[in-house]
Chains A and B, each alone.
Chain A
Amino acid sequence: MSIKTTRDAIRETLIAEMERDPRVFVIGEDIAGGMGAPGEQDAWGGVFGVTKGLLGRFGRERVIDTPISETGFLGLGIGAANAGLRPVVEIMFVDFFGVCFDQVLNNMAKFRYMYGGKASTPITVRTSYGAGFGAAAQHSQALYPMFAHIPGIKVALPSNPYDAKGLLTAAIRDEDPVIFFEHKGLYDEQGEVPDESYVLPFGEAAVVREGKDCCIVAFGRMVLLARQAAEILAREGIETTIVDPRTIAPLDTDTIVEAIAGCGRLVVVDEASPVCGMASEIAALAATECPRALKAAVQKVTPPAVPIPFSPALEAAYLPTAEAIAAAVRKTLQ
């Protein structure tokens, strides 16, 4: 056990799984860097440096840089998975799924069911998401609810280095397609991570904090903000439960409903668009599964339904904050 960043936790998971299973390979744009160019190879390791060092260990046969051609190399990964390999495909930013969404929506999500259970597509697709970096409208979105909407794929959304390692290990070993979301703002977050491999099962939410007054369900980086809000509220004598679903497909509805019913009040924090997002989904879950337990209206803390602005001042206004979460909790207690 040692303190590691999320970036390091993800990298050591990739190395461990590639060493464990020769079928695992990584493929994506600039994941090694320098392909076909003179000079230093493996200088980059992807735009966030997550895959740096893999090339030296595993060579060009298993660490494959691609052209900017998402449909082509995601489809290649799907085909390779169908053939029994274990590809880990990187789509650099989740926004780029726009140019290859058919391969997700109509292909990898469908094969096992559509072909009568005789096909298996054990692919893991890593992608970065999230605002807060001045990356503007086409490099900052939190589109994970769109993927949870599609039956046939699993969606992991780790909020800390420990979960990132356990969920990515589970994803690579899974027999079905998994999309693994990495928030840009979590790459440098540190936490205790065991050196050995371990698996966190999908569909098991983590109860991060327990308190009787209000339940906060938060996703991805929003869990960090929820914790900050809980500290603010604790100083005021308000005790909160925080649930981190960790995977949104499958979703651990039992744990979430139990936590909501236990508190009788619910605040959902989601970085995605407020329309048809996870906040709406959890609010619906409360309304359908434990309506009599609710003592106050459910509060959604999300960005507004607008494209993500570039200006740091506007972007800060766009994102949920710990104070906004605390205010929403106070509102449920009025």
Chain B
Amino acid sequence: MSTIPAELDVIHAYRMLRLLREFEDQLHVAIARGNVPGFTHLYAGEEASAVGVCLHLADRDVLCSTHRAHGHFLAKGGDVDALALEIFGKEGGACGGKGGSMHVADWSRGMWGANAIIGASVPHAIGAGFAFKYRGEDGVAVSFGGDGASNQGAGFESMNLAKILNLPVLFVLEDNGYAETTASGWAVAGRPVERAGGFGIPSVEVDGTDLLDVYTKIGVGVRRAREGGVRRSSMCACRCSTAITKVTRKPTARPARSSSCAPSRTASRVSACRCSPPDGRMPRRSTRSMRSARRARQRPSSARSTHRFQPCRP
């Protein structure tokens, strides 16, 4: 049991965790009904990673994300309605409907956007870190990437540059067990946390399902980046969970659509979220697939509510 740091507002932190999970649970229902256009990737199960990191960040700090960005968007202070509207491709969405789930961004909050090319956003974080250093500001740039991104060259090039230019950048590697369908235990040679060592960048491994573990250990890296000195870059490997969401009760109303699709308690009919244990490899998270959406559409409405979603693309 981790100790609670005195400065941590635990109620706010818990609210953020619940917000991230509730949003994805609501969205999951809409996806399963085929109401969400395009590709969507849910963040359920990884909440402690985004919240634990972003509790240390201010609007001036920059976050560069991945295709799985809803949690990063909300944790960085993005607006819930703007996120939901964007995912549904509506006017008023965070990007005016031009981006969708895989490109949600809130530049006013330093959320530089979901980026759906795996690993492509990592160099942008070092660019943000470069700009902070160039201007003599104390901002911090955070790059979120997954176990999939950890195998892309862009990440290695970025870590090398961050180190030799001594930039205030925190590389967060969220290992949720799978890149698409490929297990990270097979695809990632060595331990993810050890990769930073090759560049002389300090790194730490945290339990991505334990908010206090993430918050406490990542705080060290954020402070190191912000305060300057000769070792401003660091890396954090989050062992993240995945969550299988199960719809157990029949929705009494259609899931919210268009402008009213923000999660609310009254609309909530998704009851159970099972988090996997923090150790070991996790079951795959259910998320968008064309197949499951098609199945849901073909099934009579009475059956939809009790359908247990099959895990698909993590």
| Chain A interface residues toward B at CB < 8 A | 25, 61, 64, 66-67, 69, 71-85, 102-103, 106-107, 111, 113-119
CB-nearest residue of chain B to A108: B124
Q: Is B243 an interface residue (CB 8 A)?
A: no
The answer to whether A76 touches B126, judged by C-beta atoms less than 8 angstroms apart, is yes
The answer to whether B154 touches A72, judged by C-beta atoms less than 8 angstroms apart, is yes
Q: Is B272 an interface residue (CB 8 A)?
A: no
**If the complex has contacts A72-B123, A72-B161, A102-B117, are A116 and B96 also in contact, measured as CB distance less than 8 A?**
yes
A75 to B98, CA, bound (A): 22
Q: Is B103 an interface residue (CB 8 A)?
A: yes
Option from B62, B93, B115, B161 in Cβ contact (under 8 Å) with A69: B161
The answer to whether B103 touches A67, judged by C-beta atoms less than 8 angstroms apart, is no
**If the complex has contacts A71-B157, A76-B161, A79-B131, are A116 and B99 also in contact, measured as CB distance less than 8 A?**
yes
**Which 4 residue pairs of A and B lie closest in terms of their CB atoms, listed nearest first?**
A79-B127, A75-B123, A72-B157, A116-B95
B96 surroundings in chain A (CB, below 8 A): 116-117
Q: Is B178 an interface residue (CB 8 A)?
A: no
Option from A69, A82, A106, A119 in Cβ contact (under 8 Å) with B128: A82
A66 to B127, CA, bound (A): 13
A295 to B121, CA, bound (A): 52
The answer to whether A74 touches B164, judged by C-beta atoms less than 8 angstroms apart, is no
The answer to whether B120 touches A116, judged by C-beta atoms less than 8 angstroms apart, is no
CB-nearest residue of chain A to B110: A83
The answer to whether A82 touches B127, judged by C-beta atoms less than 8 angstroms apart, is yes
Q: Is B215 an interface residue (CB 8 A)?
A: no
The answer to whether A79 touches B105, judged by C-beta atoms less than 8 angstroms apart, is no
Apart from A79-B131, A119-B107, what are 17 other A-B pairs with CB-CB below 8 Å? A61-B134, A66-B161, A69-B157, A72-B154, A72-B157, A72-B160, A73-B123, A79-B64, A79-B123, A79-B125, A82-B128, A103-B120, A106-B120, A107-B115, A115-B98, A116-B99, A118-B107
Q: In chain B between 155 and 182, which residues have their CB closer than 8 angstroms to a CB of chain A?
A: 157-158, 160-161, 164-165
The answer to whether B131 touches A84, judged by C-beta atoms less than 8 angstroms apart, is yes
Which range holds the interface residue count of chain B?
Answer: 35 or more
A67 to B126, CA, bound (A): 15
**If the complex has contacts A72-B158, A107-B117, are A115 and B99 also in contact, measured as CB distance less than 8 A?**
yes
B115-156 interface mask toward A, CB cutoff 8 Å, 1 = contact, 0 = none? 101001111111111111010000001000000000001100
Closest beta carbon of chain A to B233's beta carbon, Å: 13
**If the complex has contacts A72-B154, A107-B117, are A114 and B95 also in contact, measured as CB distance less than 8 A?**
yes
A79 to B96, CA, bound (A): 22
The answer to whether B120 touches A76, judged by C-beta atoms less than 8 angstroms apart, is no
A61 surroundings in chain B (CB, below 8 A): 134
A116 to B121, CA, bound (A): 18
A241 to B154, CA, bound (A): 47
A113 surroundings in chain B (CB, below 8 A): 98
B62 surroundings in chain A (CB, below 8 A): 79, 83
A61 to B62, CA, bound (A): 21
Q: Is B113 an interface residue (CB 8 A)?
A: yes
The answer to whether A83 touches B127, judged by C-beta atoms less than 8 angstroms apart, is yes
Q: Is B43 an interface residue (CB 8 A)?
A: no
Option from B95, B132, B158 in Cβ contact (under 8 Å) with A118: B95
Q: Is B214 an interface residue (CB 8 A)?
A: no
Closest beta carbon of chain B to A157's beta carbon, Å: 26
A77 to B130, CA, bound (A): 9
**If the complex has contacts A75-B154, A115-B99, A115-B107, are A80 and B123 also in contact, measured as CB distance less than 8 A?**
no
A154 to B105, CA, bound (A): 24
B154 surroundings in chain A (CB, below 8 A): 71-72, 75, 102
CB-nearest residue of chain A to B126: A76
CB-nearest residue of chain B to A99: B153
A66 surroundings in chain B (CB, below 8 A): 161
The answer to whether B93 touches A71, judged by C-beta atoms less than 8 angstroms apart, is no
Q: Is B112 an interface residue (CB 8 A)?
A: yes
Option from A82, A85, A115, A117 in Cβ contact (under 8 Å) with B124: A82
CB-nearest residue of chain A to B130: A80
